[in-house]
Structure 1
Amino acid sequence: MKVLDLCCQNDHTFEGWFGSEADFQDQHQRGLLQCPLCGDSQVRKVLSAPRIQRSARTVSAQEPVLPAASTPLPASAAGGADHSVASLQAAWLEVARKIVAQTEDVGAHFADEARRMHHGEVPERAIRGQASREETVQLLDEGIAVLPLPGIATKTLH
């Protein structure tokens, strides 16, 4: 698993999890990566601190405790960033991870699978995946309840 720090054009920093560098490149080239805060698809990798877990152990009082890459930094440590933005980002990422954990990823077949469930061809279940703007509008016009959520359909939040 490859964990990358990503950033959009609006300087929102977020974490992405990928199976490999090739998986990141593929999703990036296909325009599947989006900022979870603003939906911007102009995403780039940024420098990140490595996370090394050698074994489970107790941290001594002298050792600094560093936040995980997914833990937003306090406003004072984030170069003066607005604390409410960091709080919003943390809350959004928590919700996004719960959605990923509680739904089945049907990938690019989202629109077809949503229709099949709507018509009773397959049992209803919680799904997520990718759909174009046009497919989403068509689903809504057909009376199929869908909720576009930028960044959720990707595998970046596991």
Structure 2
Amino acid sequence: MIRYDLTCQNGHAFDSWFASASAYDALEKAGQLSCAVCGDARVKKALMAPSVNENATAPKRRLSEPGSPLEKAMAELRRKLEANSDYVGDTFVREVRSMHEGKTPERAIHGEARPEEARRLIEDGIPVAPLPFAPKRRTN
């Protein structure tokens, strides 16, 4: 695992863990990175100093536990979203269109859509918003 400090073109700074340097490169090349604060997809590695643990006997935080206030807020957002909406996966576009057209009852959902699909939904007057995290089943 490798941690990178990242910045978006809106000036937000955040960090993220990746399986390897090549995993980061592949995600960046595929346009799969986004700002943890605003969702901007124009994300780059920031200049960073090496991390040195001065107290090797100090208790270590598990990577799955949020550390910073931003990580805690993101974890709480995820928890609330998952508790109060249905995950519909890659049927998101079809589901949201069906609700918008009155074919199925409205309910809170979240799922996956390609950027061009999300853009078409917005152009058609269907309110959608990107989430600042990937679904749990797709994270490492």
TM-score normalised by L of structure 1: 0.51
Matched positions, count: 123
RMSD: 4.1
List alignment gaps of at least 5 residues for structure 2.
none
List alignment gaps of at least 5 residues for structure 1.
50-62, 73-85
Q: After TM superposition, what 4+ stretches of structure 1 lie above 6 angstroms from structure 2? A: 20-25, 46-49
**1: CA distance, partners of 2:26 / 2:35:** 17
**2: CA distance, partners of 1:127 / 1:100:** 8
Greater RCO (Cα-Cα under 8 Å, separation 6 or more): 1
1:61-100 equivalence runs, <5 A: 64-69=58-63, 70-72=65-67, 86-100=68-82
| Counterpart in the other structure of 1:38 | 38
**1: CA distance, partners of 2:93 / 2:80:** 22
TM-score normalised by L of structure 2: 0.55
**Candidates 4, 8, 14, aligned match of 2:6:** 8
1:97 deviates by 4.7
Contact kept in structure 2, 1:7 and 1:35, CA below 8 Å: no
1:14 deviates by 3.2
Secondary structure of the corresponding residue to residue 34 of structure 1: coil
- Percent identity over paired residues: 22
Q: Which amino acid is 2:113 matched to?
A: Q
Secondary structure of the corresponding residue to residue 59 of structure 2: coil
